[in-house]
Amino acid sequence: MERKLFLKTLFGASTLLTMDGFAHCLNTISNNDQMKDNLTEFATYGAIHLNNTNLNKARLFWTKIVGMKERHNSENIAEFGTEKKTLVVVHQTAKVPFKKGYSGLYHFAIHAPNIAEFASMINRLEANRYPYSPIDHTMSKSVYLDDPDGINIEFTLETPERFKRVVTTGGLKIEGSDGIIRAASERLNVKEVLTHLKDEEVSKIISNDSYLGHIHLYANNVEQSNVFYKKLGYEQFNYLPQFMYADLGAGGDYQHRIVMNSWHGQNKPLAPKESAGLRHFQINYKSKEILQLALKNVSSYEEKEGGYWLYDATGNKILLKNG
């Protein structure tokens, strides 16, 4: 189904500023008392690896525009992140930019630990006049931008305290804790966010508490991908085959950790290997026992380089590690 027609059917007359608004508003619960402590999550993400066409352009983007530190580099590889950890690894192996219409990566999100850091992320984009899309999902505040190769990245601040319930009458909407019903994806009030800015310096490195918080994939088959990630231990939150969508959590209060949709079209192959995009991503299990259980549940994997390599149902490459 064409994406615009799909959105019109789903949201009716509601204005949609980004597809991820659907994902965020569906991964909610109406009773905040049911939310679990993030410390209970059984797994977190390690670094995500990307194939890019030009390392110099990637370096400028991840340092000047995103605010990450270049932690290590070689002739064709560079690592970027906080002062303490690597979040993104770029490989100069692609021949052409990111190609749309294929399965693989939809986007990945860097989560800010608080509103001041989120404001700092936006302030840096403003100072550099870098284009971005500001979206308010009620459950979260986000901005979306593309790297030089067209790979989409999200900056996110989780705000579950603002959410009350999902309203489906007349299209998919959200009722906030203030009683106001809004579109699933409102335009973010950037001016208000920036009132929380504590430091206007745009050359500083992003907070050490920033982290890779969720990955959103284009799946060639949502049902099969959903089953696969449940085998890895992820807990079902939303499974909505009628909307070609599913997301799962890792045991904490934010249950939008691994996400998949087929909005690009079902049974689509992965993009050609020479195009920019996802190389692989890493999942770090906090417990060796849970990691071993996940390995027992999957059909095949290869142990090397201190971890376990496997492919999901779509063909995305994943590295599983303990710790």
Lowest mean pLDDT among 27-31, 145-149, 315-319: 27-31
Burial (CB count <10 Å: 0-12, 13-18, 19+), residue 160: middle
Q: Are 259 and 236 in contact (CB under 8 A)?
A: no
Query: Higher confidence at residue 126 or residue 323?
Result: 126
How large is the average pLDDT for residues 117-137?
96
Q: Which of 45, 202, 209 is nearest to 121 (CA)?
A: 202
Are 68 and 59 in contact, with CB atoms under 8 Å apart?
no
Residue 233's closest CA among 253, 257, 210?
Answer: 257
Per-residue pLDDT at 29 exceeds 60: no
3-class state of residue 243 by DSSP: helix
Distances (CA, A) of 161 to 21, 83, 164, 205, 208: 17, 30, 8, 28, 24
Residue 166: the pLDDT is 61
How distant, in Å, are the alpha carbons of 22, 41, 90, 103, 154 from that of 256?
12, 12, 25, 19, 13
Mean pLDDT of the region 16-44: 49
Residues 178 and 166: their CA atoms lie apart, in Å, by: 14
For all residues of the chain together, what is the average pLDDT? 87
Under DSSP, the state recorded for 103 is B
pLDDT at 15 over 60: no
pLDDT at 175 over 60: yes
Provide the 8-state DSSP code for 34: G
DSSP three-state, residue 287: coil
Domains of the chain, start order: 3-322 (3.10.180.10)
